[in-house]
Structure 1
Amino acid sequence: MENPANPVFLRYPGGKKRKVKSFFDLLPTKDEIKGRYFEPFLGGATVFFHIRPKKATLSDLSGDLMDLYRGVKKDPKGVWQKYRTLPEGRDAYYAIRNEDLSKANLITRAARTLFLNRTCFKGMWRYNSAGRFNVGYGGEDRRWVITEHDLVMVSKLLKGKHLLTSDFEQIIAYANEGDYIFLDPPYQPGESEMRNDHFGYMCFSFTDQIRLARCLTKASSRGVKWALTNSGASEITELYQDLHLLVLDLSVLETDKGERLETRKEVIMTNLTKGG
């Protein structure tokens, strides 16, 4: 059953915080994973926090995101103290957003990223062509929903876990028989949808979707079990047409209060049969 104390602390486009209940029966328990757990599109880490595997390699292509996890893992109270002292308001947001912290220490960078995530518009994770975070101000309503206790809990769950900044192909190549991979890549848009720009310069093209499918085919041949979420776009389901598919109708455009605005078909694809 779902862990009642899931410590998801980030706002993240496409996050599975509200959706994991719809497909958790397809996910293995931590005791069913005989080897390592891999998650190469970590994002908000909802599924990792849900399963709480004993051994895990967690990764994402975003260096800012992974530095946030590294900072919270290393010193959650230090990140919280930096976070809570950052000023409020629109002007402060843009000043902090535009500040160059490339030479700042890990804890300061982590606190800044957490601040931007909690106060930016709809939790979007978007960068310009120069690699600078460029999402506008969204307000303070969601800033204090999280607590120091949340960061401490996240830190405990990350203890002993490997955190990497990497492309998914390298991470999938590490997995072998007995290992399990959960993948939640940027979704392929349907015919009537505009391409998702939440990830800015880190655009995930259909060529990447094909590359991902090929990596998972190779992983399957090594005895790796995995599950992947994506949109119900026909070109995606055709890439995985020989697999068991669970088709879900889920709300994809929501306010932070969970108000349902639009529905779109999503698919959960897996080569794992529960109990086998």
Structure 2
Amino acid sequence: MTSFKFLRYPGGKQRLLNYIIPHLPASDSITNNYIEPFVGGGAVFFAINPVRAILSDINHELIMLYRGIKYAPRKVWKQYSSFPSTKEGYYTIRDEFTCNRLISRAARILYLNRTCFKGMWRHNSKGEFNIGYGGQDRRWVINEKDLVEVSKRLKKVELLCADFEKVINSSAAGDFIFLDPPYKPHEKECVNEHFTYGRFTFQDHIRLSRVLQSATSRGVKWAMTTSSHKDILSLFEGNQVIKIPIGTGSKPGILTKDSGEVLIRNYEKV
């Protein structure tokens, strides 16, 4: 199992892979597409390394970053490396840097992600990224080779920026869907935008449960990480629920044995 840590993404499953992957199908057993409607940092995708995949997210900047690295990883790295290493420089890139070229925009997004406070992803009412400076310590944890390897993995991927319902409704028998929607462990809703891109209300969970029920009827297999709140679990009765023994709990970034997180899947055995 190969993991990639090129992207900081709140709620990402990098540190939980050992608990999640054993409950998911291996790449060679997925007969059609591997699909992620909430790709985020893509930890599970990179770990499974499927033959072909559809990765989607409603966060357009995230998908732009993936596209830039997919098509020109070395150019993205070159510009990323050229950005300033000071607090003042960070705010210049955040607030004043404008460019319509995919490479430059991807490099900017990666730079902000690696140097902002705790890797948070938040925008103001104008749609502008507004997280404060976090330092340079995590900037050089990645290198050009990492981006090149990520690019190789993305060559076989269709990248979409779309609502989850559209992506799931396009699935067919033989597909496998992994879902990691925005959620707050133990809670019914995720309404705090400080740690995730956008919100995910209980109405969104209801909508998600309905489209997954429809996918099941078409012969699609799926697995999802989500909150253990009783109201969410009630939406997925009849599916297998597996408690995730360790997770972030109520404090983002800090692992706890009271995770408040579960894996729900519509199949019994891998």
Tell me how far 1:192 sits from its aligned partner.
9.9
Q: Could you list the runs of 4 or more consecutive aligned residues of structure 1 that deviate by over 6 angstroms after TM superposition? A: none
Matches within 5 A, 1:23-62: 23-62=20-59
Alignment partner of 1:6 out of 3, 7, 10: 3
Unaligned runs of 5+ in 1: none
Unaligned runs of 5+ in 2: none
- Deviations along 1:8-35, whole A, 9 cap, x unmatched? 3101001111101112111111111011
1:138 equivalenced with 2:134 (yes/no): yes
TM-score for the superposition, normalised by structure 2:
0.93
Tell me how far 1:121 sits from its aligned partner.
0.7
Q: Structure 1 165/89 Cα, relative in aligned 2: closer, same or farther at 3 Å?
A: same
Matches within 5 A, 1:25-174: 25-99=22-96, 101=98, 103-174=99-170
Worse-superposed segment, 135-144 or 194-203: 194-203
Hey, which of these two has a bigger chunk of strand by percent? 1
Worse-superposed segment, 189-198 or 46-55: 189-198
In structure 1, C-alpha distance between the alignment counterparts of 2:41 and 2:85, rounded to whole Å: 24
- Deviations along 1:129-187, whole A, 9 cap, x unmatched? 22111111111110000010100000000002100110101100110001000000001
Query: Which amino acid in 2 is paired with 1:179?
Result: D
In structure 2, C-alpha distance between the alignment counterparts of 1:28 and 1:116, rounded to whole Å: 34
CA contact (8 A) 1:127 1:199 kept: no
TM-score for the superposition, normalised by structure 1:
0.91
Identity rate of aligned residues, in percent? 49
Q: Structure 1 194/202 Cα, relative in aligned 2: closer, same or farther at 3 Å?
A: closer
- Deviations along 1:188-231, whole A, 9 cap, x unmatched? 55359984323677221111111011010000000000001111
CA contact (8 A) 1:36 1:178 kept: yes
Query: Which amino acid in 1 is paired with 2:88?
Result: D
In structure 1, C-alpha distance between the alignment counterparts of 2:30 and 2:71, rounded to whole Å: 26
1:228 equivalenced with 2:224 (yes/no): yes
Count of matched residue pairs: 268
